[in-house]
A = this chain, B = another copy of it.
Amino acid sequence: MPQSIPPVVPNDGLTTRTRRDQPILAVHTGDGKGKSTAAFGMALRAWNQGFDTAVFQFVKSPRWKVGEEAAFAALASAHTDRGIGGPVEWHKMGQGWSWSRKQGAEVDHAAAAAEGWREISRRLAAQQHRFYLLDEFTYPMNWGWVDTDEVVETLRNRPGKQHVVITGRRAPQALIDAANLVTEMVKVAHPMDTGQKGQRGIEW
């Protein structure tokens, strides 16, 4: 249900509209399901508003989340062919980023993750997109493949009105502190608990 009345109206000198339109840095973390799926749900809204959207998946397997990828490819086509919604770019680390010359070769995942972040950082500086989805990005932070302090500083100082959503378990505290929308997904029950493996249409 929508909540339309903020509990606090801050004395920050901003108009309601200016405050409302501040760009969002959202973090979906926790051990439960729904971190990425909720981020992709947000991207549906961004698409509908015509926002230029870019997804960056920091995952090793090129097969992961094919359902979402196919759906957003169809939405990107609807934008191109019928002029509805916005453009959507989809980049997967998988076997190397789409823009990289090293694509398809033996991949150094640490180097690939660092390269992915450098590209995102460049795009943020250039205000290339309006909505960024950094899927599973907490892992390269936690594994030291990207520098968390540098990520947080870049996000805090990003220009313009660029929304960023980051997903993954164990989000670093510095990232949580910098975010203005943080949800922890808590597992209450999961089919795996009773030995049920993932199935098509649900897990991918």
- A residues near B (Cβ < 8 Å) are 1-4, 6-10, 12, 16, 19-22, 24, 26-30, 32-42, 44-49, 51, 59, 61, 64, 66-68, 70-72, 74-75, 77-78, 82, 84-85, 130-131, 136, 139, 163, 169, 176, 179-204
Contacts and interface: CB of A to CB of B under 8 A. Distances in A.
A204 B184 CA distance: 21
Contacts of A68: 41, 44-45, 48
B194 A20 contact: no
Most buried by B among A28, A75, A202: A202
B186 A30 contact: yes
Given A38-B33, A41-B36, A189 B198 contact: no
Contacts of A47: 67, 71
Nearest to A200: B49
A44 B67 contact: yes
Q: Could you say how many copies of this chain the assembly holds?
A: 2
Contacts of A85: 70-71, 74
Given A181-B191, A184-B186, A186-B30, A42 B202 contact: yes
Contacts of A169: 1
B10 A195 contact: yes
B189 A176 contact: yes
A163 B203 CA distance: 12
Given A44-B68, A191-B24, A32 B180 contact: no
Contacts of A64: 2
A161 to B, nearest CB: 9
Contact of A196 (B180, B183, B184): B180
A183 B187 contact: yes
Most buried by B among A7, A66, A74, A187: A74
A16 B197 contact: yes
